[in-house]
Amino acid sequence: MEFDKERFKRMFPNLAKEMEIDEHKISINSVRTDTQTGEKASSERFVHYMPDVIDFIRRCDTEAQAEEIIAYLEKRGEISKQYAKKLRKQLREKGVRSFGSKKEENYYFKHGEL
């Protein structure tokens, strides 16, 4: 079904206004018909991303789980004793959600597409 511009504006005035404004436009660089190739390309946002202690803490439900993460990374030498102390203080005083909202299951798959 084809519309001329004026008919479209009469039928969908708000949508027409949004389309005429140059804000919030997203360009489409390509179209993929092969699902596997498309999925691989769209999830490359986190390809070289290495989660840090905060990323792991954000997956925790309890302060005890977060403390276990901090202790483990401190023991392995992946975080310094001073940084671990700072994290524990924040955990104790402000709670586990002070590090950010909980990262849900499959977070990197879901957000890698952005």
Q: How confident is the model over 61-100, as pLDDT tens digits?
A: 999 999 999 999 999 999 999 999 999 999 999 999 898 8
Instruction: Name which of 50, 72, 52, 65 is nearest 97 in CA terms.
Output: 65
Q: Which domain holds residue 91?
A: 47-111
Q: What is the mean pLDDT of residues 3-27?
A: 79
Instruction: Name which of 112, 66, 72, 69 is nearest 91 in CA terms.
Output: 66
- The number of distinct structural domains making up the chain is 2
- Both 59 and 38 in a single domain? no
pTM listed for this prediction: 0.54
Q: Which two tokens stand for residue 3?
A: 């519309």
- Both 89 and 100 in a single domain? yes
